[in-house]
Amino acid sequence: MSLEKSEIGSPVIDPVDTPATDTAVAGPAPVKRRARRLPEAVNRYLVRATALIVAILIWHWASTSGFNLFINFENVPGPLVVWNALMQEIVSKTFYVHILYSLQRIGIAYLIAVVLGVALGVLMGRWRLAEDIIAPYIELLRPIPAVAWIPLAILMMPSEESSIIFITFLGALFPIVINTVHGVEQTPKVLVRAARSLGASNAAILRHVVLPGALPSIVAGLAIGMGVAWFSLLAGEIISGQYGIGYFTWSAYTLIEYPKIIIGMLMIGGLGTLCTLMIKMACRPLLRWQAQGKNA
Amino acid sequence: MTSALDISRTSPAHPQRGGTRKARDRGHIQIRDVSVEFERNGDWMAAVKRANLEIKPGEFVCLLGPSGCGKSTLLNTVAGFVNATRGELLVDGQPVTAPGPDRGMVFQQHSLFPWKTVRDNVAFGPLMAGMGRTEALSLARTFLSLVGLSAHASAYPATLSGGMQQRVGIARALANYPSVLLMDEPFGALDAQTRIMMQESLLEIWSEFGNTVLFVTHDIDEAVFLSDRIVIMSASPGRIIADIQVSLPRPRTQDLLTSPDFIELKRECLDLIRRETLRAFEQQNSGGR
Ligand SMILES: Nc1ncnc2c1ncn2[C@@H]1O[C@H](COP(=O)(O)OP(=O)(O)OP(=O)(O)O)[C@@H](O)[C@H]1O
Ligand SMILES: [Mg+2]
């Protein structure tokens, strides 16, 4: 929209030979507006980066000056200390083993959650009986935090590894199911009717109408699910396991190694963000029709 | 816009019927004593009441009436989206029980699959009929050129104007070679200029295909301009209150809209609608419910 406006706008209408006073005021404006267009996207990233840097600076100041007013920074390691600890970690092999273990657990748990979550979501969205059977479980289990599952997971699952994956899987499952149901239920009636009168079977309607229509919502669920998976993974790894970034963080806590705790936290945040981003990027080609529509 | 008229000369041939263009032997609609009732707050309300209508193969019939009178409901019953609660509805002798590709539907708006390109939208029907992908796509190309949209084949629907989207909708419905084309206010969301051009090009296309058209509108000009017959429905419960023959010569163009014959016929229609509406009111008021 804004793109069209400024292209049709002032440059065409403003004649070059308008009186000097007019050109002085109106002339340069459209040029400026155009020149600013490209950097606008870059600008936003600059703002975001600046916001992060400011936070680090405040953190640095608070921890070095021993800030203590309700929130106590006296014993919090500053960014430089954490940085130095990180430099030590990244040359050690076990640090990467931790990361690899976590990534593998996320991968397995997430994959199962996606397959099961989308299948359940479609079933619930298309078939009222399925929704009535499954929805109570979803509603009841969804608010239970990952940590609360730990004892049961240990009891029920055959191995430590599988209980961690189970807890991670549960975290990812609910947002995926709920978003899929939402997307499927919003299928426009007119499109289903159009497909039917063009001779589509129920299976074809699912494949060509319901699923593509629900995809934006499903993708949103996949992104949220990835975030929650990391969130839950931490809980699983704290209690059981001997590798994993969650275990790394927890053992640092029991050994009172504060810089390592912060490294662990930042790694979880960073890896979680990265994975979510990758999911979004992977799904983008499937949603190209949407992006095009918005520009029109 | 006008390109649709130039290109429509190259009408595609039906693959199964050895190039026969006209479908004049198919598309016979028989509506016998059909009522459609909906349940609302525990009450049954008639949207269509005891409608009788017979449409000959190849006829262009407009269904005209005030908003909410049940035009869409009657059309949806023929399409198979809605079931009649009374009476009998036959298309080519077969009772209508479900939607099917023999009855193509063009909706008012927003009925294209947004995630499919224009070409894939049009190819959808042939694909569903079991045609191979290459064949379906080439058929889609033919139908897109018929409606003058070859240049937009790989665009997504959201990037097209409302008029262009409706033309894709028409091409998509026709690609199945339906014997009946059902249209529910297909030009209702378009501006006056685009609308007239769309009406002209629809008539061109229809004269090539010769299929039956049942066209819902509440615009008298549109009804008179397009149809062989105008069927008028009263306000709810929707009854058929008049059936007017339109014997204006074809082919019809925009010039017809200002001709004395057209205006005369339009006046007749208006008079008839008023008379019949008044009579329907009186019937209802005198306890004829
Ligand atoms: N699925 C439904 N359930 C309940 N009532 C319905 C349903 N569909 C239509 N109706 C009712 O039936 C009546 C006729 O509706 P219909 O859509 O056929 O009117 P219409 O003549 O097409 O009106 P418009 O010109 O506004 O499109 C209306 O009172 C409407 O509320
Ligand atoms: Mg309607």
> B90 vs chain A: nearest CA distance in angstroms?
16
Spatial distance between the Cα atoms of A219 and A284, rounded to a whole number of angstroms: 9
Which residue's CA is the closest to the ligand 1 atom numbered 16? Answer: B70
Q: Name the residue range of residue B140's domain.
A: 4-285
Name the residue with higher pLDDT: A239 or A93.
A93
Spatial distance between the Cα atoms of B160 and B148, rounded to a whole number of angstroms: 13
Cis ω for the linkage preceding B251 (within 30 of 0)? yes
What's the confidence (pLDDT) of residue A6?
39
What's the confidence (pLDDT) of residue A75?
85
Q: How far are the Cα atoms of A79, A266, B279 from residue A56, in angstroms, in the given order?
A: 7, 12, 82
For residue B170, the CA-to-ligand 1 centroid distance in Å is 23
Judging contacts by C-beta atoms under 8 Å, the chain B residues touching residue A200 are 124, 128
Q: How far are the Cα atoms of A102, A154, A245, B168 from residue A231, in angstroms, in the given order?
A: 12, 18, 12, 47
What's the confidence (pLDDT) of residue B24?
61
Residue A107 C-alpha from the chain's centroid = 15
> A296 vs chain B: nearest CA distance in angstroms?
5
Q: What angle do CA A54, A59, A65 make, to 5 degrees?
A: 125
Which atom of ligand 1 approaches the CA of B74 most closely? Answer: 18
Q: What angle do CA B136, B110, B179 make, to 5 degrees?
A: 50
Spatial distance between the Cα atoms of B2 and B254, rounded to a whole number of angstroms: 12
Spatial distance between the Cα atoms of A168 and A228, rounded to a whole number of angstroms: 8
Number of helices (H), then strands (E), belonging to chain A: the values are: 15, 2
Nearest to B60 by CA among B192, B244, B234: B244
pLDDT per residue as tens digits for the range B84-139: 999 999 999 999 999 999 999 999 989 999 999 999 999 999 999 999 999 999 99
Given a contact cutoff of 8 angstroms between Cβ atoms, the answer to whether B68 and B236 are in contact is yes
Secondary structure letter of residue B109 according to DSSP: S
**Residue A190 contacts B where some CB pair is shorter than 8 Å:** yes
What's the confidence (pLDDT) of residue A241?
66
B19, two tokens: 């190039």
Spatial distance between the Cα atoms of B20 and B23, rounded to a whole number of angstroms: 8
> B12 vs chain A: nearest CA distance in angstroms?
18
Mean of the pLDDT values across residues A214-232? 95
pLDDT per residue as tens digits for the range B235-266: 768 889 889 999 999 999 989 999 999 999 89
**Residue A210 contacts B where some CB pair is shorter than 8 Å:** no
- The CATH number of whichever domain residue B120 belongs to comes to 3.40.50.300
List the shell of residues around ion ligand 2, using CB closer than 5 Å: B 72
Mean of the pLDDT values across residues B274-288? 73
> B103 vs chain A: nearest CA distance in angstroms?
7
Query: What is the value of pTM for the model shown?
Result: 0.82
Nearest CA in chain B to A210: B113
Spatial distance between the Cα atoms of A26 and A11, rounded to a whole number of angstroms: 10
Please name the residues between 182 and 201 in chain B that touch chain A, using a CB distance below 8 Å: 182
Structural domains in chain A, sorted by start = 38-76 (no CATH), 79-295 (1.10.3720.10)
Q: Count the domains in chain B.
A: 1
Cβ of B156 and A195 within 8 Å? no
Judging contacts by C-beta atoms under 8 Å, the chain A residues touching residue B171 are none
Cβ of B104 and A190 within 8 Å? no
Spatial distance between the Cα atoms of B14 and B142, rounded to a whole number of angstroms: 11
What's the confidence (pLDDT) of residue A292?
60
**Residue B152 contacts A where some CB pair is shorter than 8 Å:** no
For residue B48, the CA-to-ligand 1 centroid distance in Å is 9
Q: List pocket residues of ligand 1, CB cut-off 6 Å.
A: B 38, 40, 47, 65, 67-73, 218, 236
pLDDT per residue as tens digits for the range A71-121: 888 888 999 999 999 999 999 999 999 999 999 999 999 999 999 999 999
